[in-house]
A and B are shown apart, each in its own frame.
Chain A
Amino acid sequence: GAVVSQHPSWVICKSGTSVKIECRSLDFQATTMFWYRQFPKQSLMLMATSNEGSKATYEQGVEKDKFLINHASLTLSTLTVTSAHPEDSSFYICSAISGEFYEQYFGPGTRLTVT
């Protein structure tokens, strides 16, 4: 159990366009989802925390108008990278937890390349 999926697994887009990444919990209800970004040979950096039905909480230095997060249901959160630039190219990973249980279940990640 506790499977999290992401779609797409990889995407290439042109500079200036927007890209939406979906994160789904397949067999449990995720009260909280997290979005991370990982640059090559670096660790995961938390971007934002998303609770179902409320606005996401962004980490310091993350532009909320550029990285739009929507958590409309208990099984789906989306991250939209607006007006993407080459420096946004990265590996984006989501995770989810159920209730107050602390263990985060990670999605397989989405590799974004902006040309």
Chain B
Amino acid sequence: GQNIDQPTEMTATEGAIVQINCTYQTSGFNGLFWYQQHAGEAPTFLSYNVLDGLEEKGRFSSFLSRSKGYSYLLLKELQMKDSASYLCATLRAGNMLTFGGGTRLMVKP
């Protein structure tokens, strides 16, 4: 089966760091994606992890622990434009994605 959990909402201050956690139980796990989605728009790709460890890409980093079924997305130097929903998604056989419920991040001045 497929089960993905992430917090529903988070609030952070401009310039700060925020960590969005994701836990999953996915049969046939082939990797984990993080997407950003602004309201009314399609998701945009942020990161992909298939091996354990931290992947850093500019202000965004993503971590994966396959043994723990755990990932997090780390956003540094928060900007107002980072206010969006962040979707954790696991990849399974057939290149199919299963999305978590998404975390709505609100960045305040």
Contacts and interface: CB of A to CB of B under 8 A. Distances in A.
B42 A106 contact: yes
B30 A102 contact: yes
A109 B41 contact: yes
Contacts of B95: 32, 97, 100, 102, 104
Interface residues of B, number: 21
A67 interface: no
Interface in B13-55: 30-31, 40-45, 48
Contacts of A34: 96-97
Contacts, number: 46
Given A43-B87, A43-B102, A44-B87, A106 B43 contact: yes
A21 interface: no
B30 to A, nearest CB: 7
A54 interface: no
B7 interface: no
Contacts of A49: 94, 96
B60 interface: no
A43 B91 CA distance: 15
Given A43-B101, A103-B48, A111 B96 contact: no
Contact of A91 (B40, B97, B104): B40
Nearest to A44: B99
B94 A103 contact: no
Interface string A78-96: 0000000000000101000
Contacts of B31: 102
A8 interface: no
B61 interface: no
A46 interface: yes
Which are the 4 A-B pairs with shortest beta-carbon distances? Answer: A106-B42, A43-B99, A43-B102, A44-B99
Interface of A: 32, 34, 41-46, 49, 91, 93, 97, 100, 102-104, 106-109, 111
